Amino acid sequence: MRITRYAATAALLSLALAACSSDAGNENEQAADETAAVETDVEFPEGSTMARLNEAGSITIGTKFDQPGFGLLNPQTQQPEGFDVEIAKIIAAELGIEADDIEWTETVSANREPFIQNGQVDIVVATYTINDTRKQVVDFAGPYYEAGQDIMVAKDNPEGIEGPDDLAGKTVCSVEGSTPAQNIRDNYPEAQLVTYDVYSKCADDLKNGNVQAVTTDNVILTGLVAGSPDAFELVGNPFTAEPYGIGLKKGDDEFRAFINDVLEGAFEDGTWEAAWDRTAGAISGTEAPEPPKVDRY
Amino acid sequence: MSFLADNFTLLRDAFLTTLSLAVVSGICALVIGTLLTAMRVSPVAPLRGAAGFYVEVFRNTPLTVVFFFLAFGIVQIDLQFPSRFITAVAALSLYTAAFVSEALRSGINSVPPGQAEAARALGLDFRQTLTSIVLPQAFRTVVPPLGNVWIALAKNTSIAAGFAVTDLTAALQRLTNQNADQLLVVFLAIVCGYLVITLPSAWLIGVIERRTAVLR
């Protein structure tokens, strides 16, 4: 008798699981409908990366899982969501790959280059600033967005910080190893820099009054302000240009040119703007900026 | 190699920070741990209970949580450490003290009860029994386990990197992000920094172990 009871439970469970997964499937289909239509009939030069991915019918994409508005894992669907994710879906669609067939891999700042070099991911779309040292080891398509370093302060800006020059003599928090932290060290040495490993600790310290400002790319700060609008505000005066690019294997110029074409197409036909409004724009409440100019180096 | 020369100051300061974190916390942990052990073997029940409670709490709490509590938790009750380095030392010492205490207690348990009984029979009080009969013998047997605790502490200092202390691990984070083309060199330099601390320690522990060995 006991065995039949177990069998019945197992059957019920599997039914429930099947029901769950088909629900998730429907949601994904709906999400896919909103994004760019998948190209079904595409031809790529033989031997190119595009042909290989198209043939395989799937692509592995690295993105952030902890970046509200750009790449944030939805715990319900176990899928990342955000502007970077939408950009990646646009590229996959042009390769003839369904959004459901994209394999998402979490990349953090420190592992993006190795992941590309080892071939663990095909491309990285992860708030990835294009710069010359990185170009030594990987190539970048894009930029598809231009962020800038900005400052977050306590609500109502009690210290009257309007820009990076006002940081002199103040304690300012950022993340160890990040480009914004290095910028403060190099160009604003009078600011007292405190570095943690994640921005949420900076936010805690700002709440406690241990630091007077937090500085990094405006997109990251926007996410933090959106999380606690009663405690923080954004100075809103970006003082650097951080072009976000799509990282891919060094030397794959054909693939890079293809992605650049896709991006320019998306800038023109409005899919880029729609992707912004759906993700980062919805969080920050800002209109889509002018698309940046693709840099074909 | 010019890369290492360019970042020499950062690497040197980071190494010294890690070393001083380990040494200062190690000394504090040894002092606190010894006091805790004395409490745990004392004849006063409330002291035994308090020390036992302390050890169980800190030994079974992840170090990161202890750090978090001292860095962000105690602010809620208007307490704060004067600097982030001291916060790190406090977290590491309080945490490691629990392990030191357990190691010492095992050492004390290894001293035959007859020794303490003989000391009492000779008229020594509790403090004298502990300091001149039991602890000297206990310390000898605990050299290897204490060595383990020390090496674990040296590596645990890396958690301070997440709490605004620029130690070797923080330098690793900074250098890897800036020098995507030099990842292997960066890793080697940082690993060497830790080995310079832990390998001689392991050797020194071996020497102390041999020197203090007694025939029973």
pLDDT, tens digit (0-9, with 9 covering 90-100), for B160-173: 998 989 899 988 88
Whole-number Å distance between alpha carbons of A240 and B59: 46
Alpha helices in chain A (DSSP H): 2-34, 49-56, 83-94, 112-117, 132-135, 179-187, 199-208, 218-227, 253-269, 271-278, 280-284
DSSP string, B125-169: -HHHIIIIIIHHHHHHHTHHHHHHHHHHHHHHGGGGGGBT---HH
Q: Are A146 and A292 in contact (CB under 8 A)?
A: yes
> For chain A, what percentages of helix, strand and coil (3-state, to nearest 5) are there?
45, 25, 35
Counted residue by residue, chain A has a size of 297
Whole-number Å distance between alpha carbons of B187 and B193: 10
Counted residue by residue, chain B has a size of 216
Whether the model pTM is above 0.95: no
CATH of the domain at B124: 1.10.3720.10
Domain extent, residue B143, equals 2-212
Task: Per-residue pLDDT tens, chain A, 297 aa: give them.
Answer: 455 566 555 555 555 554 444 444 444 444 444 556 777 777 788 888 888 998 888 999 999 998 888 888 988 988 999 999 999 999 999 998 988 999 999 998 778 888 999 999 999 999 888 988 889 999 999 899 998 999 999 998 888 899 899 999 999 999 887 888 989 999 999 999 999 888 888 998 898 888 999 999 888 888 888 888 889 988 888 899 889 999 999 999 999 999 999 999 999 998 999 999 988 888 777 778 888 888 888
Residue from the list A136, A176, A198 with its beta carbon closest to the beta carbon of B181: A136
CB contacts of B86 in chain A (<8 Å) are none
* DSSP 3-state of A158: coil
Residue from the list B80, B164, B176 with its beta carbon closest to the beta carbon of A177: B176
Task: Choose the mutation target among A176, A183, A184, A199 for the interface with B, i.e. most B CBs under 10 Å.
Answer: A176
At the top level of CATH, which class does the domain A149-234 belong to?
alpha beta
The ipTM, to two decimals, is 0.72
Based on the structure, what is the number of domains in chain B? 1
User: Where, residue-wise, is CATH 3.40.190.10 in chain A?
Assistant: 44-147+241-284, 149-234
CB contacts of B174 in chain A (<8 Å) are 176-177, 181-182, 195
Residue from the list A114, A182, A195 with its beta carbon closest to the beta carbon of B183: A114
CB contacts of B173 in chain A (<8 Å) are 110, 176-177, 197
Least confident window among A37-41, A122-126, B31-35, B106-110:
A37-41
H and E: helices and strands count for chain B = 11, 0
Beta bridge partners of A175: A196
CB contacts of B186 in chain A (<8 Å) are none
Q: What is the CATH T-level fold of the domain A44-147+241-284, as seen in this structure?
A: D-Maltodextrin-Binding Protein; domain 2 (3.40.190)
Closest-CA distance, B176 to chain A, in angstroms, reads: 7
Number of Cβ pairs closer than 8 Å across A and B? 59
Residue from the list B71, B164, B173 with its beta carbon closest to the beta carbon of A177: B173
